[in-house]
């Protein structure tokens, strides 16, 4: 009995000695915040270094900017020949096409083929011509991406096609870093990849991680907080980049099916088991619109969402409970 009591006391002291350690670093062209709960700074630093190495490895695999990546080779061989890739990249592309089918093309990794005719740096003063918009998406279409599971090869059917992982890559990297840290023994933490956030474990204090839901009408304030335990949270919003033309506001989130900016929604927050899925769905629901997007989320097991429409009205799926700020 005394031995059990001593073990329990030691476990309690260890738990009390744990605290979160955070490091901020630029990875994949974005701000990453890596938080791990550890008993000392040396252990936290070692775990964080492992996470950074894993994220860097993934960036080299999926980057379309690195001429030596397998993704760049797929794009170079568009319309010419299939490219054999490793199993990890093949599986990511396979899952991406599955999300495209799930969202009726609102998510599409071949968006990288689009001509960038919309400018959100203040230089755009008029709507682009309709024929230019149509031409900008002429080579976009996930149906034109051929996969051969026997050889792990990827073929883009048309010359000029490109794939990119801007809508799913950071989420995937966050998931991989989380899995690595959990396997290494980190009891709790958060990987925040510029808003693509995934959590595990319970922080010191015994309560789940708390995630603030930004008010897109005033991003200096939050609607409230939502407790998040072993889940991912991703928000897509139009409050960062947009242009106003003829009195109408157009977001930087472009519908890959039409070439036009999405309208009617200010922000979408998705809660999912994986950051990869939450990342892809957040943008997809934004593109799909309020009714279709909310309906689609409700049909997916394990997925929850919060949508703020263009009038600032907040909609949530059934299982979401926000602790509102007063």
pLDDT beyond 60 at 170: yes
CA-to-CA distance for 177 and 55, rounded, in angstroms? 6
In the chain, the domains with their CATH numbers are 70-156 (1.10.3980.10)
pLDDT value for 130: 92
Across 96-105, 123-132, 173-182, least confident range = 123-132
pLDDT value for 317: 86
State the average pLDDT over residues 33-58. Answer: 97
Residues 202-219: tens digit of each pLDDT: 999 899 998 888 778 777
What SS3 state is found at 243? Answer: strand
Q: Packing angle between helix 290-299 and helix 275-288, nearest 10 degrees?
A: 150
State the average pLDDT over residues 41-55. Answer: 98
CA-to-CA distance for 214 and 53, rounded, in angstroms? 30
pLDDT value for 217: 78
Predicted confidence band at 59 (pLDDT cuts at 50, 70, 90)?
A: very high
Residues 177-189: tens digit of each pLDDT: 999 999 999 999 9
Q: Helices (DSSP H) in 68-211: which residue ranges?
A: 70-76, 87-102, 130-136, 169-184
Q: Which of 104, 84, 106, 108 is nearest to 96 (CA)?
A: 108
Quick check: 261 and 251 in contact, CB under 8 A? Answer: yes
Q: Give the pairing type, strands 145-148 and 153-156.
A: antiparallel
| Dihedral of alpha carbons 137, 71, 297, 322, sign | negative
Residues 253-303: tens digit of each pLDDT: 899 999 999 888 999 999 999 999 999 999 999 999 999 999 999 999 999
C-alpha triplet 158, 70, 98: angle, nearest 5°: 65
pLDDT value for 322: 67
């Amino acid at each position: 009995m005394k031995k059990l009591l001593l073990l329990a006391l030691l476990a309690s002291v260890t738990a009390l000695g744990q605290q979160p350690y955070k490091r901020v670093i630029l990875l994949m062209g974005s701000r990453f915040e890596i938080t791990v709960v550890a008993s000392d700074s040396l252990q936290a630093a070692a775990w964080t270094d492992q996470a950074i190495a894993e994220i860097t490895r993934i960036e080299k695999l999926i980057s379309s900017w690195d001429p030596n990546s397998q993704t760049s080779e797929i794009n170079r061989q568009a319309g010419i020949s299939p490219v054999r890739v490793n199993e990890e990249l093949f599986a990511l592309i396979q899952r991406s096409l599955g999300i495209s089918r799930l969202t009726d093309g609102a998510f599409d990794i071949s968006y990288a083929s689009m001509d960038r005719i919309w400018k959100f740096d203040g230089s755009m003063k008029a709507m682009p011509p309709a024929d230019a918009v149509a031409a900008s998406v002429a080579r976009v279409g996930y149906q034109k991406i051929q996969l051969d599971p026997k050889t792990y090869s990827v073929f883009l059917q048309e010359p000029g096609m490109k794939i990119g992982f801007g809508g799913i890559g950071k989420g995937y990297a966050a998931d991989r870093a989380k899995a690595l840290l959990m396997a290494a023994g980190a009891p709790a933490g958060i990987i925040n990849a510029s808003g693509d956030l995934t959590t595990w474990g319970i922080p010191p204090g015994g309560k789940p991680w708390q995630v603030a839901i930004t008010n897109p009408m005033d991003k200096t304030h939050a609607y409230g907080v939502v407790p998040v335990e072993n889940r991912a949270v991703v928000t897509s919003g139009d409050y960062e980049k947009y242009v106003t033309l003829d009195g109408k506001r157009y977001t930087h989130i472009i519908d890959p099916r039409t070439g036009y900016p999405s309208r009617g929604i200010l922000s979408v927050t998705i809660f999912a088991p994986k950051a990869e899925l939450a990342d892809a769905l957040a943008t997809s629901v934004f593109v799909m619109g309020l009714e279709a997007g909310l309906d689609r989320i409700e049909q997916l097991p394990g997925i929850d969402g919060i949508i703020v429409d263009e009038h600032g009205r907040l909609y949530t799926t059934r299982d979401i409970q926000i602790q509102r700020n007063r």
